[in-house]
Amino acid sequence: METENQRLLHTFAALADLGQEIATTSDFEEMLRSSFHLLLGSVAIRRGAIAQHDRQRDVLHIIASRGLEQAPNVDVAITRDHARHLARLGTSLTLADATSEASRFMEENQKAFGAAEIQLVIPLVVHDRLIGVVLLGEKATGEKFSEEDLETLSALARHISVGINSHHLLGEVKHKAEENQRLYDGLRTIYKETVRAFAAAIDMKDRYTQGHSVRVGKYSEVIARELGWTDNEVEGITIAGYLHDIGKLIVDLSVINSPERFSAKDSAEMSKHPAAGYEILAPISHPYADIPLMARYHHERIDGIGYPDGLKGDQIPPGARIVTLADSFDAMTTDRPYRKRLPLEDVLIDFRANTGTQFDPAVVCAFCRAFLKEIEGKKERRLLNLLNRNYDNLESVTPLLNQLLAEFDGSQIVASVNN
């Protein structure tokens, strides 16, 4: 009775060690090696191997071994019928077994197993599916395997089966996740390309402002990054910049391309485009927050006299305040039919005069900081590369940029686009 109790305690201890190894070890190969050594040590077996079932190639592939000077071929062929029979059998087989369909697998590999001194094969099965096999040599004592030995080995083998199967499942989940990420990235790329195509279509309608929407998107991106927005938020405000003028698609061409300053009637027609942009964009499920609102509110003003809704201050979404500045900056730094682009000094003087009324102080300061960092070479040239086509000696505006920062830095801080 004492010997039997000791054997049971030893078996439980081995099972506990094996369960802990499988549960806590993230390195699959290390888990497999440690688990296999525990199995061999449980009944003092000299040699053995674990072979994993590769269902695509119909082979058993050796993935762990010990003490095999002359191992079987790395890949042991196994038919699908044999795999099914081994899975149904669920018990160990010896080379001497010849009483079941599964024994044909033993017969076909008798030479290879005999050369490696393999005496016992234990199928690794999970949910009636063959995961692999454990190949075992003789016991160190030379004794035959007892029924108790086979029960212990089978119990430990089931734990190893679960470990291998869990690794497979995790691999499949990872593969699916990577595949889904590729699909998601592909959809995002298509979305961005579609947005850029829309931006090009918007700007092509107005021969005087080609490239305007893309530039507004890029200026908005620079400002949002300077404000510390997340990558996802920055991407969203960039898209909003591309699409802010989409409502112009409904405005009459004769108004958009008028070589003169707008009449009252033309101004009324043009002022419809923010609300029209919202109506166009609102039914679309965008991956970023509030893009339709950016189109609707990019002509609102901090002092409340903008359009279409006369919002003021914090009523205007943070992203719209960014697009407003980016839109105005590009309008002032590009040629229009009724005037040439303004000198940068005049643009910054306009910013100074209208900060706190038309423009959010925090947005203006973020723009100035980004501009200064690019001029000083502390940041990638994004603003400057867009402006270099029209302006020389950009460093000359440094005093004005610093003056704007001195007057308005520390004012209202713009919130995140998702707030």
Question: Do strands 129-136 and 48-54 pair parallel, antiparallel, or not at all (unpaired)?
Answer: antiparallel
Amino acid at residue number 312: K
> What is residue 259's predicted lDDT score, i.e. its pLDDT?
60
Contact criterion met (CB below 8 Å) for 65 and 55: no
Amino acid at residue number 99: T
pTM: 0.62
How much of the chain, in percent, has pLDDT values that exceed 90? Answer: 27
User: Among 196-200, 251-255, 358-362, where is mean pLDDT lowest?
Assistant: 251-255
> What is residue 258's predicted lDDT score, i.e. its pLDDT?
65
pLDDT reading at 413 higher than 70: no
Please tell me whether residue 270 adopts helix, strand or coil conformation. helix
Model confidence over 205-252: pLDDT tens digits?
A: 666 667 889 899 999 999 999 999 999 999 999 999 999 999 888 877
More confidently predicted of 67 and 58 = 58
Place of tokens 């940068």: 344
> What is residue 389's predicted lDDT score, i.e. its pLDDT?
64
Highest mean pLDDT among 75-79, 85-89, 123-127, 159-163: 123-127
The CB-based long-range contact list for 164-169 (8 Å cut-off, 24+ gap) reads 164/32, 164/52, 164/124, 164/131, 164/132, 165/126, 165/131, 166/22, 167/28, 167/31, 168/131
Contact criterion met (CB below 8 Å) for 265 and 252: no
Q: Which helix (H) or strand (E) holds 17?
A: helix 2-24
Model confidence over 294-324: pLDDT tens digits?
A: 999 999 999 999 999 999 999 999 999 999 9
> What is residue 386's predicted lDDT score, i.e. its pLDDT?
79
Task: Round to whole Å and give the CA distance between 15 and 21.
Answer: 10
pLDDT band per the 50, 70, 90 thresholds, residue 1: very low
Q: Which helix (H) or strand (E) holds 147?
A: helix 147-205
Task: Round to whole Å and give the CA distance between 95 and 110.
Answer: 7
Q: Is 202 exposed, middle or buried (0-12, 13-18, 19+ CB in 10 A)?
A: buried
Model confidence over 355-374: pLDDT tens digits?
A: 999 999 999 999 999 999 98
Please tell me whether residue 244 adopts helix, strand or coil conformation. coil
How much of the chain, in percent, has pLDDT values that exceed 70? Answer: 82
pLDDT reading at 267 higher than 80: no
Model confidence over 122-157: pLDDT tens digits?
A: 888 888 888 888 888 888 888 888 888 888 888 888
Please tell me whether residue 351 adopts helix, strand or coil conformation. helix
Model confidence over 2-18: pLDDT tens digits?
A: 454 445 445 545 545 55
What are residue 120's DSSP bridge partners? 94, 136
Average pLDDT value for residue range 243-265: 75
Mean pLDDT, rounded, of the chain: 80
The CB-based long-range contact list for 334-337 (8 Å cut-off, 24+ gap) reads 334/209, 334/212, 334/215, 334/390, 335/208, 336/208, 336/209, 337/208, 337/257, 337/258, 337/259, 337/260
CA-nearest of 265, 284, 289 to 416 is 289
More confidently predicted of 220 and 286 = 220
Q: Is 410 exposed, middle or buried (0-12, 13-18, 19+ CB in 10 A)?
A: exposed
